Structures are given as structure tokens and as C-alpha cells.
């Protein structure tokens, strides 16, 4: 029988092994984005680039209108940031307020309404693409950043409500009552007491909402058409043509997509850890 220390070593080894295996596709994308053209389809495959070139990154940011596969990466990056940050922020605000209402007030058919909101999130995006397309055509929201932002807000609100409702229910109402005795209104008690204590849920919901909007392809590919509204995932298709596929350019754009998502997740994760520590201190 293995002792406890040996089991911990085995568990650590397996954890690092699985992590390395999961990182191999990401490493391959990064290597492909900086390798020469002759190494892309080489057989046997060249794992580590023999020569490193940043041609595709330079073309993406400094000369997007030059080259056979010129793709306006900067415009797609701007659109993705606007849609992702806007939809995540609004979904967090509305979802937190709704979660507070569900956790603190009893009203007719509240459980049924809560279940209905959660079930709406279970509908796959591809099933909504045609109805949304027809609706957006009538409302003149097709091919607009505002229309795509509205879709992502509606898509993220159910999950945000579910997360925030769970966190707010764990906060004793006695804290709010004590704050109101000291002169706070219901709204002030919510701002000063509830929000700081549910910071972990707020951070987790923000990460999920941002990444969902940042990586979503199905709905964006149907509801966007032009340069003014296409997001990064849809823009990846610009590297494909009938007979040629620019793998280096596609991988370079995929790496550019990684960076804001990693930065946002890292920054919010610090607040998540801070919120967990703060909520544990009495």
C-alpha cells in the first residue's frame, strides 16, 4: 500500500501530465503562428519552428490591407471587446439585481419564474439563430454591434441570476437588518453589505459572461455580415478561401484572441480570491 506522501506525488504527477496534454494544442497554435510557410504542411511535422517570424502579427496590426489574405484584425478585435465587455457588464448588473430579488422577496410563482429563466439557457444557440435573424431583420438590428450585444446579454442573464441568487442566499439577512437599524436604506444595505460579500459570485459570473461572448461563433456568424460588426471568431473564416487556407494567419489571430481572455481572467481571478478571503473573515 502506498503511503499518503506517495499518493500526493502520484496525484501531482498526473495533474501536471494532464495539464501538459491539454496545453499541446495551444502550443501548436502558437508555434504555427510564428513558423515559416514551408514548415506548416511539412511531413514529418516540425514541432519546434527552426526559424521564427512575426510576419502575420505585423500584417495583422500594421499592414492589414496588404497581402493575399489581408484580414482587418484590429476591427474585429475592437468589435469583440465592445460586445464582450458591454454584454458582460450589463448582464452582471441585471443578473445581480434579479438574483437579489429572487433571494430576498417572495412573490407569486417566483419558483416557476426562476425555473423558466434557467431552462431558457438550455436552448442551444443554433436553434435560436433563424428566429433571431428574422426578428433582427424586422427590427433593423441585423449586422449591428448593439443587436449582437443584446443577444449575449439575454444569453448570459440566466446563468448570472442562478450564481448570484445562490451567493446572496448565503448572506444572513440579519446583516441587512443591522445596517438598516444603523440608518441605511434597503438599497444602501445591498450596496455596502451584500455586494462585497458576494464578490466571488460576481467575479465568476463576469468571467463566464465575458468568455461566452468572446468565444461565441454560431450566433455571431448568422447575425453579423460586415466589417463594422464581425467579431474575432467570425473573422477567422476570412483566412479561408476556396482552394487555400492561411493557417499561419488563422493561428496568429487565435493567439491574439487568447491574450485579452487570459488577461481578463487573470485580473478578475485576483478579485475572486480577494472576495473569498473577505467573505471568510468576520
Which is nearest to 156 in space by CA: 93, 112, 217?
A: 93
> Is there a single domain that holds both residue 179 and residue 138?
yes
161 DSSP 8-state letter: H
Digit-coded pLDDT (tens) for 241-276? 766 788 888 888 889 888 887 887 777 766 555 544
More confident residue, 236 or 83: 83
User: Do 178 and 114 sit in the same domain of this protein?
Assistant: yes
**Residues 266, 175 share a domain:** yes
pLDDT at 134: 92
Q: Name the more confident of 224 and 107.
A: 224
Phi and psi angles of residue 109, each rounded to the nearest 5 degrees, phi first = 60, 35
Q: Quick check: bond before 14 cis, omega within 30?
A: no
What tens digit of pLDDT does each residue of 184-213 get?
A: 888 888 888 888 888 778 888 888 899 899
> Residues 10, 16, 20, 23: what is their CA dihedral angle, to the nearest 10 degrees?
140
- Residues 32 and 170 reside in one and the same domain: no
CB burial of 109-138 (b: ≥16 within 10 Å; e: otherwise) equals eeeeebeebeeeeeeebeebbeebeeebee
Q: Which three cell numbers stand for residue 147?
A: 443587436
170 occurs within a structural domain:
yes
Length of the chain: 282
Same domain (yes/no): 39, 140: no
- Is residue 63 in a domain? no
What mean pLDDT is predicted for residues 29-55? 85
pLDDT-based confidence at residue 46 (cuts at 50, 70, 90): confident
Same-domain check for residues 89 and 132: yes
| Domain match, 32 and 95 both | no
The angle subtended at Cα 88 by Cα 237 and Cα 223, nearest 5°, is 35
- Residue 64, in any domain of the structure: no
Q: What is the pLDDT of residue 168?
A: 85
Same domain as 265, residue 210: yes
Residue 4 lies in a domain: yes
Q: What is the pLDDT of residues 139-192, one digit of tens each?
A: 999 999 999 999 999 999 998 998 888 888 888 888 888 888 888 888 888 888
User: Is the pLDDT score of 280 beyond 50?
Assistant: no
The CATH number of the domain holding residue 231 is 1.10.3720.10
C-alpha cell at 94: 441585471
Q: Count of domains in the chain?
A: 2
Both 45 and 146 in a single domain? Answer: no
Assess whether 36 and 75 both reside in one domain: no
% of the chain at pLDDT higher than 70: 90
**Cβ-contact 162, 118 below 8 angstroms:** yes
CB 194 within 8 A of CB 171: yes
Give the pLDDT of residue 80: 93
Range of the domain at 186: 71-280
3-state secondary structure 68-123: CCCCCHHHHHHHHHHHHHHHHHHHHHHHHHHHHHHHHCCCCCHHHHHHHHHHHCCC
Tell whether 198 is covered by a domain. yes
Q: Is the pLDDT of residue 96 over 50?
A: yes
CB 206 within 8 A of CB 88: yes
Q: Do the Cβ atoms of 107 and 144 come closer than 8 Å? A: no
Based on the fold, state whether residues 254 and 146 are members of the same structural domain. yes
**pTM of the entire structure?**
0.81
Mean pLDDT value across the chain: 83
* Shared domain check, 200 and 152: yes
Within a domain: 60: no
Amino acid at each position: 500500500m502506498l503511503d499518503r506522501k506517495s499518493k500526493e506525488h502520484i496525484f501531482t504527477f498526473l495533474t501536471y501530465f494532464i495539464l501538459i496534454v491539454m496545453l499541446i494544442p495551444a502550443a501548436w497554435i502558437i508555434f504555427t503562428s510564428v513558423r515559416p510557410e514551408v514548415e506548416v504542411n511539412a511531413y514529418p511535422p516540425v514541432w519546434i519552428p527552426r526559424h521564427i517570424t512575426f510576419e502575420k502579427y505585423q500584417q495583422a496590426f500594421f499592414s492589414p490591407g496588404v497581402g493575399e489574405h489581408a484580414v482587418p484584425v484590429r476591427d474585429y478585435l475592437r468589435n469583440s471587446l465592445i460586445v464582450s465587455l458591454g454584454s458582460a457588464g450589463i448582464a452582471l448588473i441585471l443578473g445581480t439585481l434579479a438574483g437579489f430579488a429572487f433571494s430576498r422577496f417572495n412573490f407569486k410563482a417566483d419558483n416557476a419564474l426562476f425555473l423558466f429563466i434557467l431552462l431558457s439557457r438550455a436552448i442551444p444557440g443554433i436553434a435560436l439563430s433563424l428566429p433571431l435573424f428574422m426578428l433582427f431583420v424586422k427590427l433593423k438590428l441585423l449586422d449591428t454591434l448593439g443587436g449582437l450585444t443584446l443577444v449575449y446579454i439575454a444569453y448570459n442573464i440566466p446563468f448570472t441570476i442562478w450564481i448570484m441568487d445562490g451567493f446572496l442566499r448565503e448572506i444572513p439577512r440579519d446583516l441587512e437588518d443591522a445596517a438598516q437599524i444603523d440608518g441605511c436604506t434597503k438599497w444602501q444595505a445591498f450596496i455596502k453589505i451584500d455586494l462585497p460579500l458576494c464578490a466571488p459570485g460576481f467575479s465568476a459570473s463576469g468571467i463566464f459572461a465575458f468568455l461566452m461572448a468572446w468565444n461565441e461563433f454560431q450566433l455571431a456568424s448568422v447575425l453579423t455580415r460586415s466589417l463594422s460588426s464581425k467579431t474575432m471568431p467570425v473573422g477567422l473564416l476570412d483566412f479561408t478561401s476556396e482552394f487555400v487556407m492561411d493557417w499561419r494567419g488563422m493561428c496568429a489571430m487565435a493567439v491574439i484572441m487568447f491574450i485579452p481572455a487570459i488577461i481578463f481572467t487573470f485580473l478578475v481571478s485576483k478579485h475572486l480570491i480577494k472576495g473569498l478571503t473577505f467573505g471568510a473573515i468576520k
